[in-house]
Amino acid sequence: MREVEEANAKLRERLPSAIWPLMVTEAEQYYRWRVQLDCGCIEEVLTLGEERLPSERQWRGPEHEWLQRGQTLCVHDDAPPAPYRDIVEWGERREVTFPADPVEPDDGMDPQTWAVLRHDEPYTRAFWKVTLTCGHITDTLAPDLGWKPEDGPRLCSVKRVAEMTKECEEYWASHPTEQTPREREHMRRMLSQRWPSPQPECLCYTCSFVHWIVAYQRVGWLVPRKAAPKQQQSPKPSSRAALKRRLQQAEAEAERLRNQLADLDQ
C-alpha cells in the first residue's frame, strides 16, 4: 500500500489534475497475488482487478521496456553472466558530462596506459538507447558527439587489426585466467569485423535477471472489500410427509376444540 501511494503521489506531482483519473490507478483497483518464479523465489505482485492473472500481465524492464507476458525481474547475486546481444534498433540520444579523471588509476591499470587514456579536464560523451535482439534496452557509447547511426561504425585499418589480434592472443596465452571465455569470444568477433565503433553488440544485463512466473496464488484486494450483508435464506420447502403430519396434528387439535365446545354447550 505504501509503495502504491508513493508512486501515485509522484505521478500527481508531474501530471495536471485533469488527467489524474486517466493516468493514476487508485489502490482500490489493485488485486494482490503471491507468485513463484522459475528461480525458486516467491514474490508478491499486483494486477488490475481479480480477473487479470499474473501470467497474463506484462511488466516493464529496467529501461521501461515491456517484458514478455508472464516474465518479471528478480535480481540474484548468483545470476548468470550477462550475454552479448546484437543491436537491432537505435533510439534516443543523450549527452553526459563527466568530471576530470583522477591522476592515479584506481582499477589496477598501469600508469603508462592511464596517462594515455586519462582526461585531465571535464569531458562529454554521447550515449544512445538501443534495442537488442532479445527485446531489452540498454545504452551504448558513440565514437564522438557528432556520430549518428546512419554514419555506420568506424573501423580500424587491416594492419592495426592484425596487430591487435596478435597482441590479444599473446596476452591470453600468458594470462589464461585473466578474461572469461565470453569476453575472449566477444573480442575475437569484434577483431574479425575490424573492431567497429560503436560495437554492433552489447551486454544485456536484463537477460540475467528475467524470470518466468511458474505458479500463482490469490491473496486478496490491496484494499480489503467490505463484507456484503448476509441475505436471509428463505425457508426450505416442506416435504409431503411433513405436510401430512402437520395436517393430521391440526385436524386432531380442531377435533379436540370441537369436543370442548360441545361440553360447554351441555
Tens-level pLDDT at each residue, the chain (266 residues): 898 899 889 888 888 888 888 888 888 999 999 999 999 999 999 998 888 899 888 888 888 888 888 899 998 888 889 999 999 999 999 999 999 888 887 776 778 888 888 888 999 999 999 999 998 999 999 999 999 999 999 999 999 999 999 999 999 999 888 889 999 999 999 999 999 999 999 999 999 999 999 999 999 999 988 866 666 666 666 677 777 777 787 787 777 777 777 777 77
Separation between Cα atoms, residue 209 and residue 191, nearest integer Å:
29
Q: What SS3 state is found at 231?
A: coil
Task: Give pLDDT, residue 166.
Answer: 94
Task: Give pLDDT, residue 222.
Answer: 92
Q: Which residues of 163-181 are buried (b: 16+ CB within 10 A; e: fewer)?
A: ebeeeeeeebeeeeeeeee
Task: Specify the residue for cell string 493514476.
Answer: 24
Task: Give pLDDT, residue 99.
Answer: 93
Predicted TM-score of the model (pTM): 0.69
Separation between Cα atoms, residue 10 and residue 23, nearest integer Å:
12
Q: How far apart are the first and last CA of the chain?
A: 84
Task: Give pLDDT, residue 147.
Answer: 95
Task: Give pLDDT, residue 24.
Answer: 86
181-192 and 158-174 helices cross at what angle (nearest 10)? 160
Task: Give pLDDT, residue 57.
Answer: 87
Residue 126's alpha-carbon distances to 93, 142, 144, 149, 202, in angstroms, are 7, 6, 7, 12, 16
Task: Give pLDDT, residue 234.
Answer: 64
Task: Give pLDDT, residue 63.
Answer: 81
